[in-house]
């Protein structure tokens, strides 16, 4: 599947297109097809996202898994500071990115 990501313009936070808006959680990401370019144009023009782009991801049983390690680290947070990641209570969360 393809999903859309970018950064929140004001805060810089990593965000994912959930079909009607933007979520901090990759698991909320919605599959997009030909409409992606239109969504990017509209959302960037409305300044709801900065630098949006399309990535490949897999709909795994445990949730959506971006195809590239860089995107998985973006989705989680720094693996060396899991306390600042989106899964601060899971000490093994870093294994997900590998």
Question: What residues make contact with other proteins under the rule CB under 8 A?
Answer: 7, 9-14, 44, 47, 50-51, 67-70, 73-74, 77-81, 84, 98
Shortest Å, Cβ 21 to other proteins: 18
Q: Which is nearer to other proteins, 19 or 81 (CB)?
A: 81
Shortest Å, Cβ 69 to other proteins: 6
Question: How is the chain classified by DSSP, letter by letter?
Answer: -EEEEEE-TTT--EEEE-SSSEES-GGG-----TTHHHHHHHHHHTTS-EEEEEEEEEEETTEEEESSHHHHHHHH--TT-GGGSS-TT-TTGGGGG-
Shortest Å, Cβ 14 to other proteins: 6
Q: Which is nearer to other proteins, 37 or 81 (CB)?
A: 81
């Amino acid at each position: 599947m393809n999903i859309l990501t970018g950064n929140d313009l004001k805060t810089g936070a990593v965000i994912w297109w959930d079909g009607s808006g933007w979520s901090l959680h990759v698991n909320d990401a919605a599959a997009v097809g030909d409409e992606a370019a239109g969504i990017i144009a509209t959302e960037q023009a409305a300044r709801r996202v900065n630098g949006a782009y399309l990535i490949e991801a897999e709909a795994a049983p445990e949730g959506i898994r971006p195809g590239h390690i860089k995107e998985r680290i973006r989705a989680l947070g720094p693996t060396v500071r899991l306390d600042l990641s989106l899964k601060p209570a899971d000490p093994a969360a870093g294994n997900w990115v590998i």
